[in-house]
Amino acid sequence: MEIIRSHYFGGQEIKLYEHQERAIEEIQKGKSVLVSVPTASGKSLIAYYAILQASQKGLKSMYICPLKALAREKYEELRDLSEGKFSVGISTGDLDSGTDVISRYDVIVCTSEKADSLMHHNPDYFDEIAVMVVDEVHNVGDPTRGPTLEVICTISRMVNPDLQIVGLSATLQNANVIGEWLNATVIRSDFRPVPLEKNIVFKDKIINEDMEEIRKLKRDIYELVSMILDDGGQVLIFLNTRKRTEKFAMDIATQMDSRYSHPDLDVPGEENERAIEMLRKTVVHGVAFHHAGLNMKARSFVEEGFKNGIIKVLTATPTLAAGINLPARAVIIRDITRFSDGYSSFIPNMEIEQMLGRAGRPKYDKYGTAYIYCQSPAAREKVEDLFTNGVEPVNSAMGKEKVIRFNTLALISNGFCNTREQIYHFFDTTLYAYQNKKGELRDDIDHVIDYLNNYGFIKERSGFLESERLGKITSDLYIDPETAQIILDMLESSESEPDPLLVLYNLCKTPDMMTLYVNRNDQDILSGIFDYLGIEAEDEDDLKAAKTALLLKAWIDEVPIYEIEEKYNVGSGDIEGRVSTGEWICMAASRIAAEFKREYAHSLDVLSLRIREGVKEDIMKLITIPGVGRVRARRMYTAGLKTLQDVAETSPERLSTLRGISTTLAVNIIRNAKSIGERIG
């Protein structure tokens, strides 16, 4: 079978690569496949074929992605591909929502966390799925995301032994081990439709994979960048810190040729945001940077600008390599070390390979080129090892107590396991047990079950395990049992409505919150908070929780973003991330309060909304108006427009005198305020 003839794929006749042909033959036989081939070698087509085949039989499919941005890309591609023949949905948020949200779709695209949350509500949902695509399946070894993906693969196959899994990866050294665990046919190939030329830059010399010197550099990195741009390409430069991405972007921008200039280009964002202001200075020269400190709008702006060819040079941290599809003619890896736990160490080969995989744009480039800077002989040996031996094997990260605790409660809560033996069996079916020894986790499982029983999440009666009300709520909310316990302890110890800062501190003490780092300069920030709360700091985790709580307090007190950035040494993206998680945990606290401390539920619900919007209570009604955010709402309130009725009865002329509100926007705001007022009577 060399050609697919189908009304799908735009009605084209598609000539298959050998690895695609082999994979599709296995899919047609109903077998699971694990495809390990380089980036841009047509893995998605294999997955889409499996989904199309299932849809033609009236069967459902699920496409699991590691990141929301990647899920959005796949959703749009599948929606275009469907041509109305099957329905495609996307679900990446609301981890506490049930399966009814997505049951109406033929194909659902989701993150691994969303798929896992569906397990928490109803594992039998996966009995309806015929094909499950697991993109970036090597993430099963990731310390953070890996256990979630491993649980999905384990439970879905136990629920539905006929499930056809299509695992996709560009970097999977031990594919045979993962394939055996998944009972999947392994399809491996080193073929790349766009060949990749790999080079080392060592002591100002460019050295190819054969260790031959091919060029000597006379200037800094811009000589290499200029060479790539003159050849008509775009370039991705990977660096190990946010500050270095920004510095290199600024340095390169000052040297860019005027032919790459876009003087009218602007970046969305509030005034005075440090990173946004810096980005505005670089993008006009065709240069940008990308890291997690940027907010979502700014990151999307940069990604679209690079995809459209407006941005020619993009500096980024390695997280971009594992994210959305942003290929370039050339990739420069400037740093292969990372500072962590007080010392510098080399990053894993897998991360380097992920970055290399971005070089070479299918349909645009005849080749891709990668340059890896080596600052020392040891670094050069590291890269030569990558060229010779490839990436590290993928190993399960399921053996942590937090992971066992979270999943054991879910297994009991959703009725999937009712005895200790059934839970032992589940963990004996995971990749962890396949790579280690069955039964190795039994002592940890027993410890977790005892914890859940002692704290009222479950009850063990005559050898049977049943979820209590607290356990069911906790599992449905998709939070760690320890998070629920911290929230419940706070509520039960409060003789009156808890102070908002105390609530925020407790939310930040939970294992579900990613707290901020604390350094010596934070003593001034943290002084006084523990006296105010009437508690003592016992360890560094308490200090981290306090700093993060103070950031959230500044946010809901409407402190400008640029001031929060400066005081807490964070970017707007960091604020965005903590706000999103804080809102989620506070919402969970409100749900728990509704069951066990009803008198506190409303105030927690209000606080959750304040965290989401970043406002004080007095303008909460105003932010319900579409087009009105925290800044505009405060300006309106200060100008005397304090209620929905005030806004509905004002004139566009008056409203448009406020900064940031045009006449057109003023008309829309007034109309929306009237509409909301009519709905609520």
- Give the number of residues written for the chain: 681
Do 102 and 213 share a domain, yes or no?
no
Domain boundary (169, 188, 207) is at 188
Strands 458-461 and 205-208: unpaired
Question: Using CA atoms, how far apart are residues 220 and 49, in angstroms rounded to an integer?
Answer: 46
Question: Using CA atoms, how far apart are residues 628 and 666, in angstroms rounded to an integer?
Answer: 10
Q: pLDDT at position 2, please?
A: 45
Q: Which one, of 80, 126, 83, lies nearest residue 103 by Cα?
A: 126
Q: Which one, of 445, 450, 592, lies nearest residue 510 by Cα?
A: 592
Percent of the chain that is helix, strand, coil (3-state, to 5): 50, 15, 35
CATH number at residue 588: 1.10.3380.20
Do 26 and 159 meet the contact criterion of CB atoms below 8 Å apart? no
Q: What is the largest CA-CA distance in the chain?
A: 78
Question: Using CA atoms, how far apart are residues 299 and 303, in angstroms rounded to an integer?
Answer: 6
Q: pLDDT at position 1, please?
A: 42
Do 260 and 231 meet the contact criterion of CB atoms below 8 Å apart? no
Question: Using CA atoms, how far apart are residues 551 and 566, in angstroms rounded to an integer?
Answer: 11
Question: Using CA atoms, how far apart are residues 386 and 374, in angstroms rounded to an integer?
Answer: 13
In a domain, 517, yes or no: yes
Q: CA triplet 262, 266, 268: central angle to 5 degrees?
A: 155
**Contacts of residue 187, Cβ cutoff 8 Å, sequence gap at least 6:** 19, 22, 23, 26, 33, 34, 35, 36, 37
In a domain, 443, yes or no: yes
Do 457 and 485 share a domain, yes or no?
no
3-state SS, residue 467: strand
Compute and round to an integer the Cα radius of gyration of the chain. 27
| Cβ neighbours, 10 Å, residue 523 | 10
- Going by the DSSP 8-state scheme, the letter that residue 9 receives in this structure is G
Question: Using CA atoms, how far apart are residues 169 and 393, in angstroms rounded to an integer?
Answer: 13
Do 311 and 460 share a domain, yes or no?
no
Question: Using CA atoms, how far apart are residues 4 and 10, in angstroms rounded to an integer?
Answer: 12
Do 215 and 105 share a domain, yes or no?
no
Do 673 and 647 meet the contact criterion of CB atoms below 8 Å apart? yes
- Is 148 exposed, middle or buried (CB count within 10 Å of its CB: 0-12, 13-18, 19+)? buried
What tens digit of pLDDT does each residue of 214-272 get?
A: 988 887 789 999 999 999 999 999 999 999 999 999 999 999 988 989 988 888 877 77
Query: Would you state the structure tokens that stand for residue 1, as one six-digit string?
Result: 């079978």
Question: Using CA atoms, how far apart are residues 21 and 16, in angstroms rounded to an integer?
Answer: 6
Place of tokens 């950031």: 551
Query: Would you state the structure tokens that stand for residue 372, as one six-digit string?
Result: 């890896």
CATH number at residue 638: 1.10.150.20
3-state per-residue secondary structure call for 106-129: CEEEEEHHHHHHHHHHCHHHHHCE
Element (H, E) at 655: helix 652-655
Question: Using CA atoms, how far apart are residues 251 and 249, in angstroms rounded to an integer?
Answer: 6
What tens digit of pLDDT does each residue of 346-394 get?
A: 999 999 998 998 999 887 888 999 999 999 999 999 999 999 899 999 9
Do 65 and 91 share a domain, yes or no?
yes
Do 608 and 459 share a domain, yes or no?
no
In a domain, 395, yes or no: no
Question: Using CA atoms, how far apart are residues 607 and 588, in angstroms rounded to an integer?
Answer: 12
Distance set, CA 265 to CA 259, 286, 326, 414 (Å): 14, 9, 20, 52
Do 37 and 175 meet the contact criterion of CB atoms below 8 Å apart? no
Q: Which one, of 581, 576, 672, lies nearest residue 623 by Cα?
A: 672
Distance set, CA 4 to CA 7, 23, 221 (Å): 10, 13, 45
Do 402 and 365 meet the contact criterion of CB atoms below 8 Å apart? no
3-state SS, residue 167: strand
Q: Is the pTM of this model over 0.85?
A: yes
Domain with 131, as residue range(s), is: 3-188
Kindly give the residue spans of alpha helices, DSSP state H, lying in 455-600: 469-477, 481-493, 500-509, 523-526, 529-533, 540-556, 561-568, 572-596
Sign of the CA dihedral with 629 first, then 635, 637, and 639 last: negative
| Cβ neighbours, 10 Å, residue 105 | 17
In a domain, 396, yes or no: no
Query: Would you state the structure tokens that stand for residue 499, as one six-digit string?
Result: 């102070």
CATH number at residue 419: 1.10.10.10
In a domain, 170, yes or no: yes
In a domain, 537, yes or no: yes
Domain boundary (348, 363, 389) is at 389
Do 409 and 452 meet the contact criterion of CB atoms below 8 Å apart? yes
In a domain, 394, yes or no: no
What phi and psi values does residue 234 have, to the nearest 5 degrees? -110, 160
Question: Using CA atoms, how far apart are residues 172 and 350, in angstroms rounded to an integer?
Answer: 8
Question: Using CA atoms, how far apart are residues 262 and 305, in angstroms rounded to an integer?
Answer: 11
Q: Which residues of the chain have pLDDT under 50?
A: 1-3, 5, 7
Do 97 and 38 share a domain, yes or no?
yes
3-state SS, residue 290: strand
Element (H, E) at 136: none
Amino acid at 135: D
Q: pLDDT at position 101, please?
A: 58
Number of domains in the chain: 5
Do 487 and 472 share a domain, yes or no?
no
In a domain, 515, yes or no: yes
Do 34 and 169 share a domain, yes or no?
yes
**Contacts of residue 654, Cβ cutoff 8 Å, sequence gap at least 6:** none
CATH number at residue 141: 3.40.50.300
Domain boundary (477, 507, 534) is at 477
Question: Using CA atoms, how far apart are residues 108 and 59, in angstroms rounded to an integer?
Answer: 12
Do 228 and 315 share a domain, yes or no?
yes
Q: Which one, of 70, 96, 5, 94, lies nearest residue 475 by Cα?
A: 96
Do 231 and 352 share a domain, yes or no?
yes
Question: Using CA atoms, how far apart are residues 593 and 614, in angstroms rounded to an integer?
Answer: 22
Do 544 and 496 share a domain, yes or no?
yes
Question: Using CA atoms, how far apart are residues 282 and 306, in angstroms rounded to an integer?
Answer: 13
What phi and psi values does residue 275 have, to the nearest 5 degrees? -65, -35
